[in-house]
Amino acid sequence: MRVIVTGGAGFVGSHLCRALRERGDDVVAVDNLVTGRYENIAELETDPGFTFVRADVSKAITVEPPVDLVLHFASPASPPEYLALPLETLDVGSLGTRNALDLARANDARFLLASTSEIYGDPLVHPQPEDYNGNVNPVGPRAVYDEAKRFAETLTITYHRLFGLNTGIVRIFNTYGPRLRPADGRVVSNFLVQAMDGKPITIYGDGKQTRSFCYVDDEVRGILALADSDVVDPVNIGNDGEYTMLELAEVVIEITDSSSEIVFEPLPADDPARRKPDLTRARTLLGWEPTISLREGLRRTHSWYLEERARA
Ligand code: NAD
Ligand code: UDP
C-alpha cells in the first residue's frame, strides 16, 4: 500500500509513519511543521519507502498516484496551540480536510479522519458513546478546534454519501507518549517536565476534572485497525481508565520521584469537566482494546524525556 499521512511530522502522525513502514507500506508524510517537528521523522529520511513533503494541506496537496489510503492527521491539537492558531485550525479542519478528501477521491483510496473526543465538548453523557452528539459551545474559544473537527466529520460523511468514498472517522481520546513535545502545553507533557525540573505542578481549576489517557502505541494500533477495516461510522479509540488531574499529578510525582509541589491556576474557558470513551464499538467492530496502563505508559514516556535531555 502507498499511504499519505497529513500531519506526519506531528506526535501521533510520526508514530503512524513508523508503524506503517514497519509493516511494509510506502509512506508520504505531508506537513507544514506548524506544530510538528522534523526531528520526529528525521530517522526515516534515508528510508527509500518514506517521503516527506513540506506543505500546508489547507492550500493544496499535490501527491502523485497511486494512493491507497489517506490518513488525515494535520491539525494543531494542543489547546494552547490551537488557541494561538485559531484561523489556521479552522482552515485545516475545513479546507485541509476537503483537500485530503479530494486526494482520496481522485485515487479511489480509503480516507480516515483524525477526529477527537473534543467533538463531545463538555459532555452531559458519561462515558461517551459514538451516538452521543455532544455539548459544544460554538462561540467559545475552544470552538475553533471542536467545531472544525465537527465540520470535518460532516464533510467526511458527505463524501461517503455523495461519492461513495470509502471513509472512516477515528475519535481520538487524550493520547500521550514519546515524541509528545515537552513544550506542547498539554497536561502530560507539562506535568512531566515540571516534575523533572522540580518546579510546581500547575493544576488548572480544582483538579477534579477527569480525562482518560491512552498510550500512543495502543492508539496507533487502534487507528490502523480502523484504517484497515471498512467501518464508516465514527469509532472512539482511547483508554477507558479515568483519572482526575490531581490523581495524574500524584502518579507523575511518584514515577519521576519528584519533590515538586502542586499549585492551582485558573481553569481555561469551556474546559470539559469529565471525559471517558465508551469503547464498545472499537471492541466489537475492531476487536481492539488498550493494553498499557497509565503508570506503565508514563514510565515509558518519562524514559524518553530523559533520553531526549541526554541527547540534547
Ligand atoms: P501535533 O500538533 O503533534 O501534530 C499535528 C501535525 O499537523 C503537526 O506536525 C503540524 O505541523 C501538522 N499540521 C497542522 N496544520 C497543518 C497544515 N495546515 N498543513 C500541514 N500540516 C499541518 O498533534 P497530535 O497530537 O499528533 O495530533 C494529530 C492529530 O490527531 C490531530 O488531527 C489531532 O486533532 C488529532 N487528535 C490528537 C489527540 C491527542 O491526544 N494527541 C486527541 C484527539 C485528536
Ligand atoms: N491541565 C492542567 N494543567 C496543565 C495543563 C492542563 O491542569 O498544565 C488540565 C486542563 O485544564 C484539562 C486537562 O488538564 O482539564 C487536560 O488538558 P489537555 O490540554 O492535555 O487536553 P484537553 O483534554 O483539555 O484537550
- The 3-class SS string of 241-254 reads CCEEHHHHHHHHHH
Beta carbon of 92 within 6 Å of any ligand 1 atom:
yes
CA distance 85 to 90: 9
Beta carbon of 74 within 6 Å of any ligand 1 atom:
yes
CA of 4 to the centre of ligand 2 (A): 30
pLDDT (tens digit per residue) in 204-255: 999 999 999 999 999 999 999 999 999 999 999 999 999 999 999 999 999 9
Beta carbon of 277 within 6 Å of any ligand 1 atom:
no
Mutate to test the pocket of ligand 1, among 4, 6, 11, 28 (most ligand atoms within 8 A of CB): 11
**Which alpha helices (H) appear in the chain, and where do they start and end?**
11-22, 79-84, 86-91, 97-107, 143-163, 187-197, 216-228, 245-256, 280-281, 294-311
**Is 167:112 a contact under the CB 8 Å cutoff?**
yes
For residue 201, give the ligand 2 atom closest to its CA: 8
- The residues assigned a catalytic role are 145
Beta carbon of 245 within 6 Å of any ligand 2 atom:
yes
End-to-end CA distance of the chain: 36
CA distance 202 to 265: 6
**Is 215:225 a contact under the CB 8 Å cutoff?**
no
Q: Which residues pair with 113 in a beta bridge?
A: 72, 169
Q: Residue 312's pLDDT band (boundaries 50, 70, 90)?
A: confident
Q: Which residues pair with 115 in a beta bridge?
A: 171
Q: Which whole-number Å values give the CA distances from 18 to 8, 23, 29, 245, in the listed order?
A: 10, 9, 11, 31
CA of 146 to the centre of ligand 2 (A): 15
Q: What is the mean pLDDT of the chain?
A: 98
Q: What is the model's pLDDT at position 15? A: 98
Q: Where does 2-179+213-240+275-291 sit in CATH, by number?
A: 3.40.50.720
User: At residue 168, what are phi and psi to the nearest 5 degrees?
Assistant: -145, 160
CB atoms within 10 A of CB 135: 13
Q: What is the model's pLDDT at position 43? A: 94
pLDDT (tens digit per residue) in 248-280: 999 999 999 999 999 999 999 999 999 999 999
User: At residue 22, what are phi and psi to the nearest 5 degrees?
Assistant: -60, -30
Instruction: Name the residue at shortest CA distance from atom 13 of ligand 1.
Output: 74
**Strands, sheet with 110-116, edge to edge from the N-terminal-most edge strand:** 50-54, 26-31, 2-6, 69-72, 110-116, 167-172, 235-237
Beta carbon of 174 within 6 Å of any ligand 2 atom:
yes
CA distance 10 to 32: 10
pLDDT at 61 over 90: yes
Residue 199 DSSP class? P
pLDDT (tens digit per residue) in 81-133: 999 999 999 999 999 999 999 999 999 999 999 999 999 999 999 999 999 99
Domain ranges for the chain = 2-179+213-240+275-291
For residue 59, give the ligand 1 atom closest to its CA: 18
Q: What is the model's pLDDT at position 70? A: 99
**Is 137:270 a contact under the CB 8 Å cutoff?**
yes
Q: Give the contacts of 208 (CB within 8 A, at least 6 positions apart).
A: 244, 245, 246
